[in-house]
Amino acid sequence: MMFRLPSPQPPAPPEEPESLSAVLAEVRRIEVQSSRLVTDVLSGGYRSTFRGAGIEFADVREYSEGDDPRTVDWNVTARAGRPFVKRFVEERELTVVFALDLSASMDAGFGGWSMRQVAARFCALLGLAAIANNDRIGLIAGSDDVERFVLPRKGAGHVLRVVRDVLLLRGKSTGTDLGELAAQASRSLRRRTVIFLLSDFLTLGHEAEFLVCGRRHDVVAVRITPPELLDPPAAMLRVVDPETGRRQVVDLAAPRGREMFLRRAAEL
């Protein structure tokens, strides 16, 4: 799953992303934008896409023509002297956890939003849709090791706390170990959970950990990719590798330079 969230006129990112006041202002903007989208677009789609873990017994009712004979409650039928069937309802409540890559590359981006800011909006959209359906939301985040685990809870306030953490947290390492993130999620979450793994996926070699986690939980890999990476502006850009600090001037107006850039981007 690849997630792109372009905006015609995105708000300028705060000059000091570590500033708590700037982060809280960003959270408020995200809340307003996401609440509108959840109400207008996602309210029904979320429920139909992410179903409950099973069914649970509700009550019994009298047998009607066409009912499945396998649902007959023989104990109640024997006592009442007429057939009754069991009625089941979907066990709707889900646990949704966002597993966030905190590597330095998530702070990169050519446009108005970094990949981390896009991840925050993804969490807000899915989180608000989830709590509208009485589901629980949690967060696990890390770079080369897990650094934050927010227990799943209900409530809009808890969703906004998760969004704040997504914007505010910084990894202790510039790199990332997505395998450890998936392994820790698998060990820490006892109940079957829907896990959204949010990353730019610029690292490989963690398939074994993903498979183990996928046996216990429903894992959705969400690759966050800036639109400008696939269609960069035709200009000369001064770019910085956030993980190594290496600086380089890239001429994307020149046909050869643009071709090499797009070929490397396609290989990611």
Distance CA 159, CA 163 (A): 6
Whether the per-residue pLDDT at 13 is higher than 70: the answer is no
Q: Give the model's pLDDT for residue 73.
A: 92
Encode pLDDT of 129-160 as tens digits. Answer: 888 888 899 999 988 888 889 999 999 889 98
232: Cβ–Cβ under 8 A, 6 or more apart, which residues?
110, 252, 258, 261, 262
Average pLDDT for 156-175 = 87
Quick one: which of 217, 198, 12 has its CA closest to 106? 198
Percent of all residues in the chain with a pLDDT value above 90, rounded to a whole number = 16
Q: Give the model's pLDDT for residue 81.
A: 92
Q: Give the model's pLDDT for residue 232.
A: 76
Tell me the HSE value of 112 on the side-chain side, using a 13 A CA sphere: 9
Read off the DSSP letter of residue 60.
Answer: E
Q: CB of 156 within 8 A of CB of 40?
A: no
Q: Give the model's pLDDT for residue 40.
A: 57
Burial string for 92-123 (b: 16+ CB within 10 Å, else e) reads: eebbbbbbbbbbbbbbbbebebbbbbbbbbbb
Q: Give the model's pLDDT for residue 106.
A: 86
Return the C-alpha torsion angle 6, 39, 24, 176, nearest 10.
-50
Residue 55 carries which side chain, given as an amino acid letter?
A: I
pLDDT band at 72 (very low <50, low <70, confident <90, very high): very high
Encode pLDDT of 198-227 as tens digits. Answer: 998 877 778 888 888 988 898 998 988 877
CA distances to 119, 175, 181, 185, 199 from 136, in Å: 18, 30, 20, 15, 22
Whether the per-residue pLDDT at 161 is higher than 80: the answer is yes
Residue with tokens 């570590």: 18
Q: Give the model's pLDDT for residue 139.
A: 95
Average pLDDT for 64-73 = 86
Mean of all residue pLDDT scores within the chain: 78
Q: Give the model's pLDDT for residue 203.
A: 74
Whether the per-residue pLDDT at 1 is higher than 70: the answer is no
Q: Give the model's pLDDT for residue 248.
A: 80
Kind plus residue range of the DSSP H or E element containing 44: helix 43-49
Percent of all residues in the chain with a pLDDT value above 70, rounded to a whole number = 79
Q: CB of 249 within 8 A of CB of 226?
A: no
Average pLDDT for 1-14 = 43
* Best-predicted range by mean pLDDT (21-30, 112-121, 145-154, 242-251): 145-154
Whether the per-residue pLDDT at 99 is higher than 60: the answer is yes
